[in-house]
């Protein structure tokens, strides 16, 4: 059972447009919500992360919006560029003594057309 | 800095063969992880090691074994490979336990079992 559900599976936007990827989670014990970016042939790399005590976090063109009551969070990419074309994964984890195990969403393949 | 290094990058096995995937990190991280990535399923945790000398099962451990050889190295072994284990395998590490923090991933091992 997928504890973190991600949509859409794929997304095509034009250069300069806004890309929006959504995630929903079930486990209310999750307290850390990162987004990872993966280019073909590479491993995922941390893009941006948020904790549930804030509703929004912005880093450059990338923004996470977090809705704790709805158990949803989303990634917004403003002024999308062809170089943003990649697969994006949302994830969640709980703080525990045995390390930071991540539960990932299914992934979204983003294509930004020039 | 090399970060997280995985070997081999590609491997083809016949059903029933065994092999070991190697992972090493040079960041002095305490915790290490093995994930598998399958289309439409995101990344799923196979095994993890919160610290040197400890290992624990993740979400999909069946058919795998691990060894935390020392603080730097964490290997994944397939004793009798099956076609269902065809996947891309990623090793990751995090700096410390007990807190949620950035995971650093290797470039992956693409395994095909025929």
Q: What percent of chain A has pLDDT over 70?
A: 94
Average pLDDT, integer, range A91-106: 80
Query: B41 to chain A: which residues are within 8 Å by CB?
Result: 2, 106
Cβ of residue B92 closer than 8 Å to a chain A Cβ: yes
Q: Strand pairing partners for A103?
A: A92
Write the DSSP assignment of B13-33 as a string of letters. Answer: E-TT--EEEEEEESS--SEEE
**Closest chain B residue to A44, measured at CA:** B105
- Dihedral angle computed from the Cα positions of residues B10, A42, B57 and B62, in that order, rounded to the nearest 10 degrees: -40
> Which pLDDT band, with edges at 50, 70 and 90, does A35 fall under?
very high
DSSP codes, B44-64: EEEEEESSTT--EE-S--TTE
Contacts with B87 from chain A: Cβ below 8 Å: none
| pLDDT of B2 | 80
A29 near B CB under 8 A: no
From first to last of the 114 residues of chain B, give the pLDDT tens digit. 689 999 999 999 999 999 999 999 999 999 999 999 999 899 999 999 988 999 999 999 999 999 999 999 999 999 999 999 999 999 999 987 656 678 999 999 999 999
**Residues of chain B positioned with their CB less than 8 A from the CB of A6:** 42
Residue tagged 């809705």 (tokens): A67
Would the pLDDT of A95 be above 80? no
Residue (of B93, B73, B77, B96) closest to B85 by Cα position:
B77
Residue A76: pLDDT above 60? Answer: yes
For residue A96, pLDDT over 80 is answered with no
Residue of B nearest to A9 (CA): B40
DSSP readout, B63-77? TEEEEE-SSSBEEEE
Inform me whether the pLDDT recorded for A98 exceeds 60.
no
| Smallest Cα distance from B66 to chain A, Å | 16
Q: Which of A2, A3, A10, A4 is nearest to A90 (CA)?
A: A4
């Amino acid at each position: 059972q997928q504890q973190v559900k991600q949509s859409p599976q794929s997304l095509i936007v034009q250069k300069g447009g806004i890309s929006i990827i959504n995630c929903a989670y079930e486990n209310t014990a999750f307290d850390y919500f990162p987004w990872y970016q993966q280019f073909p042939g590479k491993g995922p790399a941390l893009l941006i992360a948020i904790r549930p005590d804030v509703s929004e976090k912005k880093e450059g063109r990338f923004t996470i919006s977090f809705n704790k009551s709805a158990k949803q969070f989303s990634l917004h990419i403003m002024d999308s560029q062809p170089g943003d074309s990649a697969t994006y994964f949302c994830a969640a984890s709980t703080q525990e003594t045995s390390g930071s195990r991540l539960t990932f969403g299914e992934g979204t393949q983003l294509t930004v057309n020039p | 800095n090399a970060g997280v290094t995985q070997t081999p990058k590609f491997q083809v096995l016949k059903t029933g063969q065994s092999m070991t995937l190697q992972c090493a990190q040079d960041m002095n991280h305490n915790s290490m992880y093995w994930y598998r990535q399958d289309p439409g399923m995101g990344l799923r945790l196979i095994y993890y090691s919160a610290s040197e000398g400890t290992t624990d099962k993740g979400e999909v451990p069946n058919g795998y074994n691990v060894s935390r050889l020392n603080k730097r190295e964490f290997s994944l072994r397939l004793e009798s490979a099956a076609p269902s284990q065809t996947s891309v395998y990623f090793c990751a590490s995090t700096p410390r336990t007990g807190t949620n923090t950035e995971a650093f991933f290797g470039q992956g091992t693409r395994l095909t079992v025929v």
